[in-house]
């Protein structure tokens, strides 16, 4: 049983560019949450998707947007990249019916130059 998978593993972009990160949840999970983890900090909640809609959002600007597909996989899009967007982006999945445990994927390391 595959766990949470994310792609790509690493990404280097320049300021002003746009980026798309992808996540496939653990089998049986229908809820996907995205977190941003800056170096030396705890993960910060960006937003959460289930039933193909954004349900909760953290304190992130509209440059951060997402999407969830019918197969529960999800994308995180960031427009107009800033140097401060450099971070590890983590995807976590959980079953909506029971928020007992979130499984995290390996993350995508984004570097903005």
Partner 1 sequence: QQPVQSPQAVILREGEDAVINCSSSKALYSVHWYRQKHGEAPVFLMILLKGGEQKGHDKISASFNEKKQQSSLYLTASQLSYSGTYFCGTDPRIQGAQKLVFGQGTRLTINP
Residues that bind partner 1 (CB under 8 A): 4, 31, 33, 35, 40-45, 48, 55-56, 58, 90, 94, 96, 99-107
How many CB atoms within 10 Å of residue 34?
24
Smallest separation, CB 67 to partner 1 (Å): 18
Q: Which is nearer to partner 1, 41 or 79 (CB)?
A: 41
21 neighbors 108 (Cβ within 8 angstroms): yes
How many CB atoms within 10 Å of residue 79?
13
Smallest separation, CB 20 to partner 1 (Å): 20
Taking the C-alpha atoms of residue 27 and residue 15, their distance in angstroms, rounded to an integer, is 36
Smallest separation, CB 62 to partner 1 (Å): 19
Q: Which is nearer to partner 1, 39 or 70 (CB)?
A: 39
Q: Which is nearer to partner 1, 42 or 84 (CB)?
A: 42
Taking the C-alpha atoms of residue 11 and residue 54, their distance in angstroms, rounded to an integer, is 25
């Amino acid at each position: 049983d595959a766990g949470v998978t994310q792609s790509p593993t690493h990404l280097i972009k320049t300021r002003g560019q746009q980026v798309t990160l992808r996540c496939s949840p653990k089998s049986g999970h229908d809820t996907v949450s995205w977190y941003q983890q800056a170096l030396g900090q705890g993960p910060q909640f960006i937003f959460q998707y289930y039933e193909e809609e954004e349900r909760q959002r953290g304190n992130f600007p509209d440059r951060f947007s997402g999407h969830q597909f019918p197969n529960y996989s999800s994308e995180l899009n960031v427009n107009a990249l800033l140097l401060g967007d450099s971070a590890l982006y983590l995807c976590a999945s959980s079953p909506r019916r029971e928020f007992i445990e979130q499984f995290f994927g390996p993350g995508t390391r984004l570097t903005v130059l």
